[in-house]
Amino acid sequence: MRIVIADDSVLLREGLSLLLAEAGHEVVAQAGDGPGFVSAMTDHRPDVGVVDVRMPPSHTDEGLRSAVAVRAQWPGARIMVLSQYVEVSYADDLLAGGEGGVGYLLKDRVSNVDDFLGALDQIVSGGTVLDPQVVQQWMGRRADPVAALTPRERDVLALMAEGRSNHAIAGALHVTEGAVEKHTQRIFAKLGLHADESDHRRVRAVLGWLRSTSRGD
């Protein structure tokens, strides 16, 4: 993969570049602020961009706003937000198009190299990958729609929102794929969503519901 990295920490950028190079990928550009990330993404057109949330000049949600700006200019851009913080406001806008190819992971996830590289592969393939803490923040914005779900259905929904297949969910919860399918159908029914055979479209449907509830506050 050809990758652009944006983070205001030089040490983190260089460390991540080494990690990716050892895995056989090429870091084509680095940036230390939001505008630099936008320029690098549009100039190099990489397979994926990795961007921090809090960067100069605002040190608030600059990275997310820059990711949204990149997608506005290049709707097919693949972007992973990698941060120590969960910020849901511009994340809604980043996911609004529903095209997939985006992810939001907390930096602690980089400590598991295989998970991180697997998440990058999934994003480049058009998938959507969310850290469990990001999912919890979205759900916590408004709990009423989730209240109708059983604890097991909530577990399935959280794993589904991470982009996992029925097979992967079954393995994580130690149940059969048939049981996961039944839970999934009940989740869609309770949330007023239409089930779909495509894992990515299912994830986008869940994210659409999460966006609508967060904006309703």
Q: What confidence tens digit (pLDDT) does each residue in 107-145 have? A: 876 667 888 899 899 999 988 888 877 766 665 554 445
What is the percent of the chain with per-residue pLDDT over 90, rounded to a whole number? 36
At 40 the pLDDT is: 97
pLDDT tens digits for 45-96?
999 999 998 888 777 788 888 998 999 899 889 999 988 877 766 666 776 6
Mean pLDDT, all residues of the chain: 80
Q: Is 63 helix (H, G, I), strand (E, B) or coil?
A: helix
CA distance 193 to 195: 6
At 115 the pLDDT is: 83
Measured CA angle at 167 (ends 162, 168), to 5 deg: 40
CA distance 175 to 182: 11
> What sign has the CA pseudo-torsion 118, 121, 127, 129?
positive
